[in-house]
Amino acid sequence: MDVQPSIANWKNMAFKNFRFQVILRGVGIGLSAFAFAWSIYLTEFFMTPLVFVLLTLLQLVGLIIYAEGTLKEVKRFADSFQERDYTLKFDESVKGRIFRELGHAFNNIIEDFKKIRIEKEEHYRYLLQVNDHVNVGLICFKTDGKIDLMNKAAAGLLDTTVLDRMEHLNNHQPEFHNLLLSLKPGDKQLFHSTMTAEAKDLAVVANKFILKEEVYTLVSLQDIRSELDENEMTAWQKLIRVLTHEIMNSVTPVVSLTTAIKLMMEDGEGKPVPLAELDEETSEDIYRSVFAIENRGKGLMGFVNAYRDYTNPPQPELETVNLLALASDTLQVLKSELGGIEAVIDPKSREDVQVQADGKLIGQVMINLVKNAREALSSFDTPTIKLMIDKEVGKGRVIVTDNGPGISPEVLEEIFVPFFTTKEKGNGIGLSLSKQIMKIHGGDLQVKTSTKGTAFTLQF
């Protein structure tokens, strides 16, 4: 066994040991101080105390330098973190057990931060890949106008390259630039872009968040022109189907009656018969046929007028409306028409719900809904209609419910289509016009139905 190298290694480790070095230097300083005191009282030589003073000071300076050199390792570790340099390794083999444990802990921290940094970079690359492959355009910018994120989908929708400043977007599409700056959190806007090679209808949704005390605005863009075109085509198909049905219902009997009148006024050779030669029964048939034609014509004219009214809705005259008072007035007006059907205000209704609306138009919507409920309950054993006035997220609403059998899924899809009706004498514009009135008030008319009843909600 080679003992000599082992002893040399032990000596090297011992002299590098922080505790040993501190004790050794402390003992040296103590001995030098003791020798200095001894030389003052027990020697007559002036130089001897001076030598021991210098020796003490030198050892003290050496201890300070040694301690500062040790702290430089810790400072170097702290500096590496500040500069985000995680390649540094703390030497665990020097200066004793305490610094070995400290060095081991530092090295573990460095390894953990390395892993976190690698995971962060991988996550960032993953997000970049997702951003570049999603079909939804994304733009994220700060309050100073710097664009932190603009994916390829957004650049494609705006027909531009990926930009880094909002000013550059202003040069390319000033209207869209102004829209983005005016958006508030949660805003949804429809922007019609005509500056690209192909016109686009962009659905723009904004959100804001704070990151490291910096305000960011995140905007998503989606071209919904194809969906709008499809919905428009579907709406036109439904409208044409209803218009065709209504017109054919009026024109078909008119054609049949005019054909019958023509046959009654012709002889066997197809020549007209003088009116004086017609018998009384034939004349009466002709009169009844003409009367029927007149009624069908008036019905068709009423249908056309209803269509004209629907396409030219009245503009609301806004005022402060108390919804509970309006609902009470509606039931009072319809009291005689409801017959034995119970129509009441729900006792849970709130009295303080006020909206800016046209009271006459909203009252007409309520009347229409209550009448529809009455007709749905006409053959029901215990019919009940309730009006509930409430608030949802600070916005007023009126809910008109009935306990009828509900609306079939087939009819439910069509109830807001203009001129669609299941009634024998209905013109089919009541619900569609009611929805339109709510829309021009900035609200909506919604419906929920089941086998236990139907609820129409006027959402303001």
pLDDT above 70: percentage of residues in the chain: 78
Residues forming beta bridges with residue 204, ordered by sequence position: 189, 221
Q: Which of residues 226 and 288 earns the better pLDDT score?
A: 288
Q: What is the DSSP string of 11-70?
A: HHHHHH-HHHHHHHHHHHHHHHHHHHHHHHHH---SHHHHHHHHHHHHHHHHHHHHHHHH
Cβ atoms 59, 36 nearer than 8 A: no
- Is residue 344 in some structural domain? yes
Same structural domain, 159 and 93: no
pLDDT above 90: percentage of residues in the chain: 13
| Residue 211 belongs to domain spanning | 134-223
Token pair 């999603």 is found at 134
Tell me the CATH number at 182: 3.30.450.20
Strand, helix or coil for residue 206: strand
Same structural domain, 304 and 362: no
pLDDT at 318 over 50: yes
Q: Which of residues 386 and 26 earns the better pLDDT score?
A: 386
Same structural domain, 209 and 237: no
pLDDT at 269 over 60: yes
C-alpha 331/C-alpha 335 separation (Å) is: 6
Same structural domain, 240 and 203: no
C-alpha 305/C-alpha 311 separation (Å) is: 10
Overall number of domains in the chain: 4
Q: Which of 170, 199, 202 is nearest to 188 (CA)?
A: 202
Q: What is the mean pLDDT of residues 119-130?
A: 78
Cβ atoms 48, 39 nearer than 8 A: yes
Phi, psi (rounded to 5 degrees) for 115: -65, -45
Between 225-264 and 280-311, two packed helices, what is the crossing angle to 10 degrees? Answer: 160
Q: Tell me whether residue 385 is exposed, middle or buried, using C-beta atoms within 10 angstroms of its C-beta: 0 to 12, 13 to 18, 19 or more.
A: buried
Cβ atoms 446, 456 nearer than 8 A: yes
Write down the pLDDT at residue 431: 87
- Is residue 378 in some structural domain? yes
- Is residue 108 in some structural domain? no
pLDDT at 113 over 60: yes
CA distances from 454 to 108, 307, 343 (A): 66, 27, 14
Q: Which of residues 448 and 47 earns the better pLDDT score?
A: 448
Between 18-42 and 96-133, two packed helices, what is the crossing angle to 10 degrees? Answer: 140
Write down the pLDDT at residue 118: 80
Token pair 């009423």 is found at 302
Same structural domain, 344 and 454: yes
pLDDT at 436 over 50: yes
C-alpha 460/C-alpha 129 separation (Å) is: 42
Same structural domain, 301 and 328: no
Write down the pLDDT at residue 10: 40
C-alpha 165/C-alpha 147 separation (Å) is: 5
pLDDT tens, position by position, 62-91:
777 777 766 676 677 667 766 666 666 666
C-alpha 337/C-alpha 349 separation (Å) is: 24
Same structural domain, 17 and 92: yes
pLDDT at 455 over 90: yes
Tell me the CATH number at 265: 1.10.287
Confidence of residue 8 (pLDDT cuts 50, 70, 90): very low
Q: What is the mean pLDDT of residues 330-355?
A: 87
Choose the final residue of a domain: 291, 311, 331: 311
Cβ atoms 63, 25 nearer than 8 A: yes
Assigned token pair, 237: 């198909």
Question: What is the enclosing helix (H) or strand (E) of 8?
Answer: helix 3-16
- Is residue 116 in some structural domain? no
Same structural domain, 328 and 453: yes
What contacts 376, CB < 8 A, 6 or more positions away? 402, 404, 405, 454
Choose the final residue of a domain: 202, 223, 244: 223
Contacts 24+ apart (CB under 8 A), 426-431: 427/302, 427/303, 427/306, 428/242, 428/246, 429/306, 429/307, 429/309, 429/310, 430/368, 430/371, 430/372, 431/368, 431/372
- Is residue 126 in some structural domain? no
Same structural domain, 157 and 215: yes
- Is residue 252 in some structural domain? yes
The 10 Å Cβ neighbour count of residue 67 is 14
Q: What is the mean pLDDT of residues 46-65?
A: 77
Confidence of residue 366 (pLDDT cuts 50, 70, 90): very high
Write down the pLDDT at residue 77: 67
Q: What is the mean pLDDT of residues 159-185?
A: 85
- Is residue 37 in some structural domain? yes
Mean pLDDT, the chain, as a whole number? Answer: 79
- Is residue 70 in some structural domain? yes
Assigned token pair, 427: 């013109």
Same structural domain, 294 and 352: no
Choose the final residue of a domain: 311, 330, 361: 311
Confidence of residue 104 (pLDDT cuts 50, 70, 90): confident
pLDDT tens, position by position, 380-402:
778 899 999 998 877 899 999 99
Same structural domain, 196 and 148: yes
Same structural domain, 301 and 323: no
